[in-house]
């Protein structure tokens, strides 16, 4: 049965989900779907941030290890140069 558009019955069809009192009627399934979608996006964002944090930690550890290695290599070079300077001074007789 089609409702008469001129009647004041509660069965009257309203455009855009309006129920006649000025409020928009949003279907419950849509609210549930929207809530689920937001939850999935939030969990994905948290997991992405956690992965990025662990990646940054790994990069920091690698940079720290490289810095320590370079410092050790520089110390070795300085020690060798000091030894060469000492030997050169001995060779020249400036001991």
Does residue 9 contact residue 3 with C-beta atoms inside 8 Å?
yes
Q: What is the pLDDT of residue 66?
A: 97
Domain enclosing residue 80, as ranges = 15-92
- Please state, in angstroms and rounded to a whole number, the distance separating the CA atoms of residues 53 and 46: 10
Tell me if 10 is assigned to some domain.
Answer: no
Number of domains in the chain: 1
Indicate whether this model's pTM tops 0.85.
no
Q: What is the pLDDT of residue 1?
A: 47
- pLDDT more than 70, % of the chain: 77
- For range 73-93, the mean pLDDT: 93
Tell me if 3 is assigned to some domain.
Answer: no
pLDDT band at 81 (very low <50, low <70, confident <90, very high): very high
Tell me if 28 is assigned to some domain.
Answer: yes
């Amino acid at each position: 049965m089609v409702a008469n558009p001129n009647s004041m019955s509660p069965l009257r069809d309203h455009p855009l989900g309006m129920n006649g009192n000025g409020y928009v009627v949003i279907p419950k399934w849509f609210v549930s779907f929207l809530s689920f979608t937001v939850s999935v996006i939030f969990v994905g964002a948290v997991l992405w941030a956690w992965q990025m944090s662990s990646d940054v930690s790994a990069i920091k550890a690698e940079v720290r290890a490289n810095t320590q290695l370079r410092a050790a290599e520089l110390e070795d070079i300085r020690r060798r140069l000091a030894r060469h300077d000492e030997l050169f001074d001995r060779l020249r007789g400036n001991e």
